[in-house]
């Protein structure tokens, strides 16, 4: 202890305090503050950049999910539309088919009716004509048969014969 006190130099102590405090103040102004601020700023910058990158990534993910969703929706819509169209087409086709069938049936029936009535008319006409013709022929035949006296008598005789036979 005595040696320590003996070694103690007030001058050196004085200079040490002076130099150290001076150095402290100078360094604080010209070095520590700018250094710590720069480091702080840089760290903040890195932190912010990381955060914004994370945010951007999330946004991107959201966007992608949105896109996916929209795409899916569109696809479903298209599928629905196609299905509907197909249904419509089928309906139309079947409707048309049945309508056409009915029409055709109607036409056929009408045609048949017409044919039948025409046939009837034709048959009637034919009958009349045949009857007329027959009468005419019969007239002519009769006229020819009965043109002379002998024939007329022969006829009367045959008819009378028939009657006597009965």
Partner 1 sequence: MHRNLGTEILGVMQKRTVVKFLLIFTLVFNASNLFAKESEKEGDGDLKTTIKEFINHHLQDSHDFTLFSDEEAKTHFGFPLPVILWDGGLKVFSSSKFHHGETVAEVNGEYYKLYHGKIYKTDAQGTINYDEDHHATNAKPLDFSITKNVVSMLLISLLMFFMFKSLAKSYKKNNSIPTGVGRFLEPLVLFIRDDIAIPNIGEKKYKKYMSFLLTIFFFIWFLNLLGMTPLGVNVTGNIAVTFALALIVFLITNLTANKNYWGHIFWMPGVPTFMKVVLAPIELLGVFIKPFSLMIRLYANMTAGHVVLMSIIGMIFLFKNWIGGPLSFGLAFALSILELLVAALQAYIFTMLSALYFGMANEEAHH
Positions touching partner 1 (CB under 8 A) are 4, 7-17, 19-24, 26-28, 30-36, 38-39, 41-42, 45
Rounded to whole angstroms, the Cα distance separating 122 from 116 reads 10
Shortest distance, position 50 Cβ to partner 1, whole Å: 16
Q: Using the minimum distance from each CB to partner 1, give the nearer residue, 34 or 80.
A: 34
Shortest distance, position 2 Cβ to partner 1, whole Å: 10
Rounded to whole angstroms, the Cα distance separating 25 from 19 reads 10
Q: Using the minimum distance from each CB to partner 1, give the nearer residue, 4 or 163.
A: 4
CA angle 89, 95, 98 (to 5 degrees): 140
Shortest distance, position 39 Cβ to partner 1, whole Å: 7
CB 151 within 8 A of CB 141: no
Q: Using the minimum distance from each CB to partner 1, give the nearer residue, 24 or 108.
A: 24
Q: Using the minimum distance from each CB to partner 1, give the nearer residue, 31 or 131.
A: 31
Shortest distance, position 48 Cβ to partner 1, whole Å: 13
Give exposure, 2-34, as e/b (b: 16+ Cβ within 10 Å): eeeeeeeeeeeeeeeeeeeeeeeeeeeeeeeee
Where is 34: in which H helix or E strand?
Answer: helix 33-145
């Amino acid at each position: 202890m005595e040696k320590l006190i003996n070694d103690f130099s007030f001058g050196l102590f004085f200079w040490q305090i002076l130099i150290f405090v001076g150095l402290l103040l100078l360094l604080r102004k010209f070095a520590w503050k700018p250094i710590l601020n720069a480091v702080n700023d840089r760290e903040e910058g890195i932190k912010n950049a990381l955060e914004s990158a994370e945010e951007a990534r999330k946004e991107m993910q959201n966007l992608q999910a949105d896109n996916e969703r929209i795409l899916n929706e569109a696809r479903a819509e298209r599928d629905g539309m196609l299905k509907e169209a197909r249904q419509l087409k089928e309906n139309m086709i079947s409707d048309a088919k049945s309508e056409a069938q009915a029409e055709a049936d109607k036409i056929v029936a009408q045609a048949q009716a017409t044919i039948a009535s025409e046939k009837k008319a034709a048959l009637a006409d034919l009958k009349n004509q045949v009857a007329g013709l027959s009468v005419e022929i019969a007239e002519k035949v009769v006229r020819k048969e009965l043109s002379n006296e002998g024939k007329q008598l022969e006829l009367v005789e045959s008819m009378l014969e028939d009657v006597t036979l009965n």
